[in-house]
Amino acid sequence: MPKPRFKRAPIKALRPTQLTVGLLEVEVKRRRLEALRPEDREAFLEAHPMPVVIGPAGKLYITDHHHLARAAFDARVEEACFQVEADYSSLRPDKFWHAMNKRFWVHPLDQNGVRHRYERLPGDVSKLVDDVYRSLAGFVRDSGGFMKTTAAFAEFIWADFFRRNIAIEDVRDDFAAAVRHAKRLAKSPYAKRIPGYKK
């Protein structure tokens, strides 16, 4: 029989490789998941498997789809579909993190842009911290402000760009207005070196 395209694991078994997500973006994804019939939700998750690296002690580290993973957890989905990108289970922890960093598969920066040690990464997706600028970047992307790209950490770069240019009070007081402002900034010459930029 052919091997399945993906494997399964409990959502709680997936370990993040970043500290933050945008919880407003997570909430949108959660509502979409909950609106699906069970069989359609299952088909959606099968079509969007989590990319995973197997680390020391066989722990599963997701390298992308953190927002979807958190949304699935919040929607009380018990299992995730995943695909293995690499098996580093034989490496010592220091070598493992070196390999992850070299492949741009880990981003231990907090909601203020401060770098932390790898042991500060959350143990599961429920402990990811909110960064409202990640939500801002996601909403701007979805409204056509910039293109989705495979460049490493592109959405973090956009979030940091908006963090430097839009006051946190403005984002919290009127998120829709902040999205409109950020979309204008995204199309300005100041953003032209950021991956995904479009006029």
Q: Where are the domains of the chain?
A: 7-129, 132-191
Architecture of domain 7-129: Alpha-Beta Complex (3.90)
CB-CB contact of 182 with 143 (8 Å): no
Residues 6+ apart with CB under 8 A from 175: 24, 132, 135, 136, 139
pLDDT tens for each residue of 138-165 = 999 999 999 999 898 999 999 999 999 9
Q: Which residues of 99-121 are buried (b: 16+ CB within 10 A; e: fewer)?
A: bbeeeebbbbbebeeeeeeeeeb
Helix (H, G, I), strand (E, B) or coil at 147: coil
Architecture of domain 132-191: Orthogonal Bundle (1.10)
Could you tell me what percent of the chain has a pLDDT over 90?
94
Mark residue 58 as left, alpha or beta (left: phi above 0; alpha: psi -120 to 50; beta: remaining): left
pLDDT greater than 60 at residue 4? no
- Calculate mean pLDDT across residues 109-126: 95
pLDDT tens for each residue of 70-105 = 999 999 999 999 999 999 999 999 999 999 999 999
Sign of CA dihedral 88, 90, 93, 94: negative
